[in-house]
Structure 1
Amino acid sequence: MIIQIKGNVKFPITLDPSVWIFDDRKMVLEEAFDKKNTFTEVIEEFSGQDSNRVKPQVHNSIKKFNKNELLTNSYVMPIFDFLQTAEIHSDAQIAMIKSEKNYLEVTIDEVLNSVLLFAIDGKQIKTDGPAYFIFGDGRNKDEPFKNVTEIYFQ
């Protein structure tokens, strides 16, 4: 139940969505595409933070969320920080979001501004998991690309 980021990147990395529930960068699915709190603003907030800070910081999440909220909400994780850490090479043209049986080809900008749905009703996605890919504008929110196992850059 991991997701690999590899291909035309400086640092291939492996993600474990099962630990994101305590990550401060997670967003409630229903609020992620709310016009009052645009996804782009959230990305800018995280990308503007001190790069020397250890990520992820989990102390605020433990204080902010009570157990009932954690067990009832669906959560998404912006992909931006992970891709920034992997350092996509400047000559990369496309990203392929891969599942066990299929793939979705997207632009670099589209993947940078996208999210991964990793928890539904407070539970880790096991069927069709470990995560679902959703474009940053939410256009496939109702029909996300499921079973994401790899993000490959060409």
Structure 2
Amino acid sequence: MIFPLDGSVRHPITIDPTVWIFDDRKRKIEELDAVAENDQEAYYAKMGKAWDDGLTQGTRVDHNKPMSRQDKDAALRDSFAMPLAPFINNAEPVDLATHIRFYGETVLTIPLHDASRVYLQFSKDGKVLTDGPVYVLYDNQIIRQVNHITVLSGQ
């Protein structure tokens, strides 16, 4: 269930939403309105703190960090989405990039500067989406069956 993020970017990437359940950036669908504005700032604050701690205390990588019982229970019953902005940032849109297009059951094109308001839903009620790989959640719109994201130039 992987899909590409390509187009007017320096680094086309392949996205695998099946691993997002372990990602700290995921959000419960019910909480999206409350966290949408501060999501990127919270992520950068967390990464900044981790960087500072690494400099002052040294680093210790724990790749086998187990999920807590509470996290496991939530993963088996809740619906989650991932913010799109970090993936767009990693792909590094070129200077002329202006829009993002999502291909799914319908095609949605939005301005690139709205990427921070887009979430990719990857689970519903603790299960992988049957008509996925992801849904795009943007301004009270849901685009199902999204399987390709393209960054466009000069729209």
2:81 is the counterpart of 1:76: yes
Q: CA–CA distance in 1 between the matches of 2:71 and 2:81? A: 18
Distance of 1:64 and 1:58 partners within structure 2: 18
How far, CA to CA, are the matches of 1:84 and 1:43 in structure 2?
11
Aligned pairs for 1:139-154 within 5 A = 139-140=140-141, 144-154=142-152
* Residue 129 of structure 1: aligned partner: 132
Q: TM-score, normalised by structure 1?
A: 0.81
Which of 82, 100, 111 in structure 2 is aligned with 1:95?
Answer: 100
Question: Which ranges of structure 2 fall in alignment gaps of 5 or more residues?
Answer: 55-61
- By how many angstroms is 1:123 displaced? 0.5
Name the amino acid aligned to 1:122: G
Equivalenced residue count is: 141
2:57 match: none
Within 2, Cα distance between the matches of 1:22 and 1:62?
8
Aligned to 1:45: 42
Q: Is the 8 A contact 1:24 1:58 kept in 2?
A: no
Amino acid at match of 1:73: D
Counterparts in 2 of 1:104-115, with a 5 A limit?
104-115=108-119
CA deviation after TM superposition for structure 1 residue 58, in Å: 7.7
Q: CA RMSD in A?
A: 2.4
8 Å Cα contact 1:96-1:104 kept in structure 2:
yes
Alpha-carbon spacing, 1:65–1:59, altered in 2? closer, same or farther (3 Å): farther
Which structure has greater strand proportion?
2
Letter of the structure 1 residue corresponding to residue 16 of structure 2: D
Shift of 1:64: 7.1
How high is the sequence identity, in percent, across the aligned residues?
29
Gaps of 5+ in 1: none
**Distance in 2 (alpha carbons) for counterparts of 1:122 and 1:58:** 24
